[in-house]
Chain A
């Protein structure tokens, strides 16, 4: 499983001259579950697009398992880093759900029984297997998002990057996404997600990277990032700490980023 590293990364968009990334250093070990948070314009989307080569650094470098990513095409990097975009309608083109999910792994050279099993597994994991022959546009918005997730899952990349996976999802959809993340992570694969759902972030990830103005302003486990000492920094990026953290502080129980952590502290454990 590869490590990802970003060193002194600067990215200036040519068209608008906006300095979206202003010197980012980040090291993500194999198998980590990392959440990337920050308001729109903080650079998180720009950052993840460097991980699969869609964007190239203006300064600094990106390495995948020690190798500089600038020597690899996007198609090559796609076999290592799978990126699921926020808007499923940006990619759906096939006539059936199954065909849509096959696209990714086919591009990576999979075929035959290997392909079939990767696709079936992805369909089952995201709960859309029952719709495999349906036209993607006959699925509701929530299931189409899960379809987009399935289409990248089937590529079985060692690194999975998700852009706002729970936005627009109902309760069941969110549960599905969390189950998928759990499964992928238990296989030792790396999961990186951009999200502004703080409950999801604090409960499903072991590391939270907060960005603002193209830089990393906080980086650590949820107990650190959602501790009261970090609230000013968080609020400056329009993020609210999870309810459990706020209540824990009111009760003087220290840093309790999740419901479970708060309940543990209440029980004196």
Chain B
């Protein structure tokens, strides 16, 4: 219980890691140009990922996460940037422009930085650790439970969906045929996932009640993630730094 994380970064307090992720994500947007977000990503995403030993998984997951948005944003800006004049390439009626390309790259870099920051947090923090830490800091144990359980539900639901898909395929549902057939297959799969989950909710609630879940007040925490004055200082430092950056941008210090 409360297993020590495999790396120094893992062992940081969850709130610290959450602060890093949030500040990085917002700073990526606040910083101008292309170089800024890249340096930010290197410092706040890639370096910690290296220390934590999750670089490979981070790259795969964050790209997967960002891909749809990144791709569409890139294409839209490349071809449809308003008021652009420097033509790079013509494909039929649409034109890729130089200004569009520059902007598209800027957007891409930001999306990747944000996706990386979020993924780094996800890969180095267990949901239970974060919710227990928040509970220690005063969040109601029931709210913490709901937050934790919601996150943990996702893999369960995914697994359930795949079991349900098997059952429906066994009844002739075609998941290997045409796109139209596959779309029609959504209801027989999503339906039981939702209905089954709802049906379970009552029993889950009863099981929780039977174990004193609804007892008002705090509960005993057997273990909470470590924190330190230094980490708290770093957290405040990051937030202040972010605010300073935003102010500087807004007042045009960096142009």
- Chain A residues in the interface with B (C-beta under 8 A): 49, 52, 54, 73-75, 78-79, 82-83, 85, 89-94, 103-104, 107-108, 137, 151-152, 155
Contact = CB atoms under 8 A, between A and B. Distances in A.
B95 to A, nearest CB: 44
A71 B174 CA distance: 15
B136 interface: no
15 contacts: A73-B177, A75-B172, A75-B176, A83-B170, A85-B167, A90-B163, A91-B167, A91-B168, A92-B191, A93-B192, A94-B191, A103-B188, A151-B171, A152-B170, A152-B171
Secondary structure of the B contact surface, majority rule: helix
B50 interface: no
Interface string B160-194: 10011011111111111100000000011001100
A82 B170 contact: yes
**Interface range, B side:** 20 to 34
Interface in B93-115: none
Contact of A108 (B169, B172, B188, B191): B172
A108 B172 CA distance: 6
B195 interface: yes
Contacts of A155: 171-172
Given A90-B163, A90-B196, A54 B169 contact: yes
Contacts of A82: 170-171
Interface of B: 160, 163-164, 166-177, 187-188, 191-192, 195-196, 199
Nearest to B167: A91
Given A83-B170, A85-B166, 12 more contacts: A54-B169, A75-B173, A75-B175, A75-B177, A82-B170, A91-B167, A91-B192, A93-B191, A103-B188, A104-B171, A107-B172, A137-B195
Contacts of B169: 54, 74-75, 78
